[in-house]
């Protein structure tokens, strides 16, 4: 019996290509023909962050996001941080692909810090807004393939003019828009947007007239409403006591809502009203 290497059409004739599958084909290996190799027909399921929202209240801007990250119908993680501080005056809330969004956030954090240290002054508000828009635009090839899409919300304060915080939202191509009252993004955003539109037009107490305590309660209610209509939104996990991530941007700077504040606010909402 001839060995594999001595058969006609063996390694001597395939050595010029270095193609192992061609070698198998030439030697007619029955169990290892190239056509027998399994083919991957589906791309891996992408992880998504879901619902984030922001609105103006009396003291400034509140930014909130649920904690759930999903991949298809699977809950990948229920403690995801979707409200990311870029510097002391700028915060971004992410909806879409966390892998892409976190990379954008790290790039912006480094860019803002480098400019501040090299120029001895912070980057202007307009430059920050466009920097995020450019990163989203540069991600367009991935967006067109249906993966890596990020549709964030940005809240920032312009230190050069000592202005109140300003709220921006983006589309998937990188265009930015200033939000007068509120901005929402993610799979649960339609439900939250509808409630905010009603509140600001018909309730008699728009979000801009609410104090900090009322703003926190409203943010928790909105995320809970979104979770009721969207399975990808986490809302408040009553069993594990996992609360949404909430931050405030005011003229005094950026700070996070402590867990105790969120716990008390949600308990007050669930208490029976007589």
Active site residues: 50
Instruction: Give the three-class secondary structure for 57.
Output: strand
| Residue 147 neighbours by CB distance under 10 Å | 15
Number of DSSP helices (H) and strands (E) in the chain, helices first: 8, 13
d(CA 120, CA 272): 54
Closest to 64 in 3D by CA, of 77, 51, 76, 75: 51
SS (H, E, C) 153-212: EEEECCCCCCCCCEEEEECCCCCEEEECCEEEECCCHHHHHHHHHHHHHHCCCCHHHCCH
> Which pair of structure tokens corresponds to residue 218?
């409203």
| Half-sphere exposure for 15 (CA within 13 Å, toward CB) | 7
- Whether residue 173 contacts residue 188, with contact meaning beta carbons closer than 8 Å, is answered with no
Closest to 92 in 3D by CA, of 111, 78, 115: 111
């Amino acid at each position: 019996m001839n060995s594999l290497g001595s058969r006609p059409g063996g390694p001597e004739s395939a050595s010029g290509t270095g193609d192992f599958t061609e070698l198998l084909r030439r030697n007619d290996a029955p169990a290892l023909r190239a056509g027998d190799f399994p083919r991957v027909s589906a791309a891996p399921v992408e992880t998504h962050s879901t619902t984030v929202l922001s609105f103006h209240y009396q003291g400034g801007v509140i930014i909130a996001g649920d904690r759930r990250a999903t991949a298809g119908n699977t809950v990948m993680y229920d403690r995801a941080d979707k409200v990311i501080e870029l510097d002391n005056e700028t915060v971004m809330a992410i909806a879409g692909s966390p892998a892409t969004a976190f990379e954008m956030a790290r790039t912006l954090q480094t860019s803002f810090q480098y400019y501040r240290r090299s120029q001895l002054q912070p980057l202007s508000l307009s430059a920050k807004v466009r920097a995020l828009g450019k990163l989203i635009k540069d991600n367009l090839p991935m967006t067109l393939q249906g993966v890596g899409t990020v549709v964030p919300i940005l809240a920032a304060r312009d230190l050069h003019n000592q202005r109140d915080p300003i709220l921006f939202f983006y589309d998937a191509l990188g265009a930015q828009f200033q939000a007068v009252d509120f901005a929402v993004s993610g799979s649960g955003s339609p439900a939250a947007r509808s409630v905010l539109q009603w509140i600001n037009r018909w309730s008699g107490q728009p979000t801009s007239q609410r104090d900090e305590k009322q703003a926190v309660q409203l943010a928790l209610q909105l995320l809970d409403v979104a979770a009721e209509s969207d399975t990808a939104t986490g809302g408040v996990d009553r069993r594990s006591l996992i609360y949404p991530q909430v931050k405030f941007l005011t003229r005094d700077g950026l700070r996070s809502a402590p867990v105790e504040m969120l716990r008390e606010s949600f308990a007050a909402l669930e208490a029976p009203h007589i």
